[in-house]
Structure 1
Amino acid sequence: MRKPNKLVALIFAILASIAMLLPTSAYAANGTNNDNGSITINNAEPGHTYNAYQVLVLESYNTDKGVYSYKANTDWADWLAKQTQYVSIDEGYVTWVKGADVKAFAKAALAHATEAKIAAKATKTADSATVSFTGLNLGYYLVDTTVGTLCSLDTTTPDVVMEEKNDLPGINKEVKEDSTGEWGDKNTAEIGDTVEFKTTITAKAGAESYVLHDVMSKGLTLNAGSIKVQVGGSDLAAANYTVKTTGLTDGCTFEIVFHQSYLDTITSDTNIVVTYDAVVNEKAAVYPSANPNKTQLEYGNAAKPEDRFTPPSETETYTYKVDVVKTDGDNKVLDGAKFKLYDAENGGKEIPLVKVSDGVYRFAKDGEPAVGTITTVNGQLEIKGFDANTTYWLEETKAPEGYNKLAGRVEIAVKDANIDATVDGGIWHEGDGGVHIVNKTGNELPSTGGIGTAIFYALGGALVLGAIVFLSRKRVK
């Protein structure tokens, strides 16, 4: 026999005890228990386990007079004797206390079945949309499923048909877009940014064995201290769940195990909201690849592990790269230009960058040592880690030798795509893409002294030569 499921529903369709007081002619006027009861469950959920527990045993009955003799099932006798708010027992015979809460009784009964490890009278795992229990000893039964259904088997109507609700728990994962503050299934961010996530679990009455599984990609680093669990806008007491971030062997980044004692208090659809954040790190994939974060809820006790999980809910975080091309006025690439990146056209905050390889840089994480400037190689720069729908500014701090440094910063406007460049043969052509930055050079300037001293030396020499000729001619005469 399988151990009884803990999952209970708070919908207790008809507790058999109520029928004790109601006359019916649906069965023979007189009789004893003949083990011919049946329960049929329609619309069953394949892969989920259904357990039928017999709490009371029908000894005899007379439907004409509306009288029935019930005794506690042996496994339940001691427990029932203490449930004076629900039942009374006289000489071993059980009757229902008028006005008692049948839902509370059902919940308490199945909690006892779990704690006392009471074996179910019948257990079946659905392999189709119909589950049937036949040959049941007549009495009152609670049926427990991993989707939270409870029922009673009325002894005067031994063949009971149930309609399974398929009330499975739900899960929805969202991420906040920092530029709008809106939650959705996608966002964009810089490397080094902290990204906020939210998972909403729609818990059902009779919740059983809930475990939240969260898997972050290698480009996201969980801030374990940020995990918060709330119900109705208020923090859920930490005693109701356990957060696991270490010792996990299933590839999860973290898990939250909800204690059954808390799940047993859920009487209707309840949203459990889990919020947490993560940093986009140096391993982040660059667009068009995404940095996913996947969440699933494990619940119940289905026979197959894959049947114990909700479909995954996933978010995608994107970051982008920009190619910068530095050329002269003829579009020939120039090496050696140095830049810094800022978040404003004037003033603003310098954005720290880390060198990945020659000519390739990325945004730095918080506290990570950054380079002072970035330098073009083969006339190009590749910078990774930009947020989308954001404007950045490049400031040239040193121009290539012989070229004029730019007077102002150059705008980089990142949309929902990379800014790619393709340079062939050291010449940038219109349409090659990227952020194209041109340095110009001037003509050679004249030497100090205006037109130079050479002309004065030449003129002086001519005057001296003329004087010598003049004096020579004078002596001849």
Structure 2
Amino acid sequence: MKRMKRIMALMLAAIMMMAMSVTAFAAEGAGTHTLTVNAKGGQDLKGQTINLYKLFDVTESGTTESKNYAYTVNTATGYKDAIKSALGTSFTGTTDEEYAAAVLAIGSNDSTEVQKFANDFTTYALKNSLAATATSSKITESQTSYDFTGLDAGYYLVYVTGGKEIQSSLVTVDATTNTVNLKTEAPSIEKTADKTTVNIGDVVTYNVKGVIPDTTGYDQYQYIIHDELSTGLDFVNDTTGTALGEAATTVNVKVAFGADVTDEGTAPTTATLDSTNKRKMSLDLSAWVKANQTNNKGKEFTVTYYAKVNKDAVVTEKNNAKLEYGNNPSDTTTTTPSEAKTPTYPLDIKKINKKTSELLAGAKFSLYRTETDAKNGENAITVTGSNGNYVVDPASTTTEFESVKSIDGKGYNLHINGLEAKDYWLVETQAPEGFNKLTAPIKVTITKTGDAEWKVSKDGVEETDKIIDIENSTGSLLPSTGGRGAIAFAVIAALLVFGVAVSFIRDKRKEA
């Protein structure tokens, strides 16, 4: 009997150990999965927030060749209602098996019907504030994938906030590592300019192109364009460069579709200027985007506005526009800025003595846009400045700029800033004192070679240092007939005459 009790005790202990090991095995499978979410091709996840909704818990059995899956609806509040809503009014099931069977019957992978189910579930979840199973923080770095770790096995829906349209993805997480490729495309804008290089005083027309996002399923949607000009540009109200008033709070813009689209809402005609920086503006198109959902979602539109190049413009002149968007006003995403580059270039001149290479001050020049104007002395480019440093200034009446002895730290002694890339003709209007003036215009060519790169040539020959060398000559005295030799002969002659006179006087005295 004692022996039997001992055997029974051992068997009970073994059973308990087995039970514990089974429990441990089940626990090990729970919360150990990873899901890698990949951005749609060419997209970036920076600024995005990713939400996971677990529709079903999944358990599996069987071998690798033949596995069996059992699904149970997520018991978290609202999930059963969300799935039922997405399945449509024709679904009347009540059990987990019926829910799973209905989803299975929707269609094949990536079918239109399955995508509609995913989008309808997301719409319901957003409208009813369904709590996500897992949520990423807003992604702050530029990356193309994101890993969710510690997930339970299940059937998940992946949703990225604020997409151009709701395009959620479905995936079963049932292995150590799983991957899903997003279908969601983030909104974006592109800014362009009507000029590739500019003169100071030019008015640049900027166009920002975007696409009306599909906001179906969103109670609200933020769509705001932010633009910031660099210090070399100022907002103006039209192509003629009408300046903003001192107390201006807005700047004129034009928002329009292509010719084949009718605007269903009244588009804004002004953008709001920043209260402390008049080179920043914001254009809130949120209401207009919502107004154009019926017929125009997915269609391209253009925002047009203007800026004038000022005296502070430089070669690296650029400005940018970025889009702030999202279905949650307190958690919006801002796109990487789209830059439009409109560089302006300097003309640097090294005025030197041809014989000694000494820098020469006092040489005056004028610059022309055509050879004909240069030869006729008409329509010279106007400038302002002094001490060898000048800028193009359309409002000025000064057409000459003058070299100095030196400009500290520079390899030139005359500088003119604010020219676009093109041909110019440089005319010397006055040579330094004691030097010969140039008799013909010099052709100067500025060529853009990159966003911040350019080259300069003189009469067709590139100046590798981007400095135009201009030499002045001074010569020996020209021959004359009144030189020192004639003077010497005159002196000798005078002395001879004086000697003869003295001798004559002496002889007269002796005779007397």
TM-score (norm 2): 0.53
Q: Secondary structure at the match of 1:299?
A: strand
Q: For residue 349 of structure 1, what is the amino acid of its counterpart?
A: N
Deviation at 1:231, TM superposition (A): 0.3
Deviations 1:50-103 (A, max 9, x none): xx999x9999899xxxxxxxxxxxxxxxxxxxxxxxxxxxxxxxxxxxxxxxx9
Distance 2:277 2:501 in 1: 106
CA contact (8 A) 1:337 1:400 kept: yes
> Do the aligned partners of residues 261 and 222 (structure 1) sit closer, same or farther apart at CA in structure 2, a change above 3 Å counting?
closer
Alignment of 1:12-31 (within 5 A): none
**Match of residue 258 from structure 2:** 232
Quote the sequence identity (%). Answer: 27
**Match of residue 16 from structure 1:** none
> Do the aligned partners of residues 308 and 443 (structure 1) sit closer, same or farther apart at CA in structure 2, a change above 3 Å counting?
same
1:265 aligns with 2:292: yes
CA contact (8 A) 2:234 2:307 kept: yes
Aligned mate of 1:337, from 363, 368, 381: 363
Deviation at 1:456, TM superposition (A): 5.0
Distance 2:359 2:161 in 1: 71
CA contact (8 A) 1:241 1:259 kept: no
More strand by share: 1
1:281 aligns with 2:310: yes
**Match of residue 352 from structure 1:** 382
1:256 aligns with 2:283: yes
Could you tell me which runs of 5 or more consecutive residues in structure 2 were left unpaired when the two chains were aligned.
1-76, 95-115, 137-145, 149-158, 169-180, 240-252, 407-412, 449-453, 458-462
CA contact (8 A) 2:167 2:184 kept: no
> Do the aligned partners of residues 189 and 144 (structure 1) sit closer, same or farther apart at CA in structure 2, a change above 3 Å counting?
closer
Deviation at 1:469, TM superposition (A): 5.0
1:404 aligns with 2:427: no
**Match of residue 335 from structure 2:** 310
**Match of residue 202 from structure 1:** 211
> Do the aligned partners of residues 59 and 274 (structure 1) sit closer, same or farther apart at CA in structure 2, a change above 3 Å counting?
closer
Q: Secondary structure at the match of 1:318?
A: coil
**Match of residue 442 from structure 1:** 475
Distance 1:384 1:277 in 2: 22
1:171 aligns with 2:185: no
**Match of residue 417 from structure 2:** 384
Deviation at 1:221, TM superposition (A): 1.3
Deviations 1:222-270 (A, max 9, x none): 2233532220148968932252233457986222222525533234311
CA contact (8 A) 1:240 1:259 kept: no
CA contact (8 A) 2:232 2:309 kept: yes
Q: Provide the alpha-carbon RMSD of the alignment.
A: 4.7
Deviation at 1:464, TM superposition (A): 6.7
Deviation at 1:381, TM superposition (A): 0.8
Deviations 1:93-143 (A, max 9, x none): xxxxxxxxxx9xx9xxx9xx9xxxx9736365953899xxxxxxxxxxxx9
Aligned mate of 1:373, from 400, 405, 408: 400
> Do the aligned partners of residues 251 and 149 (structure 1) sit closer, same or farther apart at CA in structure 2, a change above 3 Å counting?
farther
Deviation at 1:334, TM superposition (A): 1.5
More helix by share: 2
CA contact (8 A) 1:191 1:386 kept: yes
Q: For residue 311 of structure 1, what is the amino acid of its counterpart?
A: T
CA contact (8 A) 2:258 2:300 kept: yes
1:295 aligns with 2:338: no
CA contact (8 A) 1:243 1:255 kept: no
Deviation at 1:383, TM superposition (A): 1.9
> Do the aligned partners of residues 238 and 39 (structure 1) sit closer, same or farther apart at CA in structure 2, a change above 3 Å counting?
closer
1:122 aligns with 2:151: no
Could you tell me which runs of 5 or more consecutive residues in structure 1 were left unpaired when the two chains were aligned.
1-33, 41-51, 63-102, 131-142, 152-162, 178-186, 421-429
Q: Secondary structure at the match of 2:184?
A: coil
Q: Secondary structure at the match of 2:427?
A: strand
> Do the aligned partners of residues 320 and 238 (structure 1) sit closer, same or farther apart at CA in structure 2, a change above 3 Å counting?
farther
**Match of residue 37 from structure 1:** 80
Deviation at 1:384, TM superposition (A): 1.7
Q: Secondary structure at the match of 2:201?
A: coil
Distance 1:237 1:453 in 2: 100
**Match of residue 220 from structure 1:** 233
Q: Secondary structure at the match of 2:347?
A: strand
> Do the aligned partners of residues 60 and 406 (structure 1) sit closer, same or farther apart at CA in structure 2, a change above 3 Å counting?
closer
**Match of residue 6 from structure 1:** none
> Do the aligned partners of residues 209 and 144 (structure 1) sit closer, same or farther apart at CA in structure 2, a change above 3 Å counting?
same
**Match of residue 27 from structure 2:** none
Deviation at 1:350, TM superposition (A): 0.8
CA contact (8 A) 1:404 1:439 kept: yes
Q: Secondary structure at the match of 1:405?
A: coil
Distance 2:93 2:505 in 1: 163
Distance 2:506 2:442 in 1: 72
> Do the aligned partners of residues 237 and 413 (structure 1) sit closer, same or farther apart at CA in structure 2, a change above 3 Å counting?
farther
Q: Secondary structure at the match of 2:238?
A: strand
Q: Secondary structure at the match of 1:339?
A: strand
Q: Secondary structure at the match of 2:266?
A: helix
Distance 1:53 1:38 in 2: 6
Distance 1:285 1:361 in 2: 13
Deviation at 1:451, TM superposition (A): 8.0
Q: For residue 285 of structure 2, what is the amino acid of its counterpart?
A: F
Deviations 1:242-299 (A, max 9, x none): 522334579862222225255332343111111223222112233xxx2221111222
Q: Secondary structure at the match of 1:168?
A: coil
- State how many pairs are aligned: 336
Distance 1:36 1:436 in 2: 78
Distance 1:274 1:176 in 2: 13
**Match of residue 3 from structure 2:** none
| Worse-matched range after superposition: 243-252 or 269-278 | 243-252
CA contact (8 A) 2:224 2:284 kept: yes
Aligned mate of 2:162, from 137, 146, 151: 146
Deviation at 1:402, TM superposition (A): 1.1
> Do the aligned partners of residues 414 and 252 (structure 1) sit closer, same or farther apart at CA in structure 2, a change above 3 Å counting?
closer
Larger RCO, structure (CA 8 Å, separation 6 or more): 1
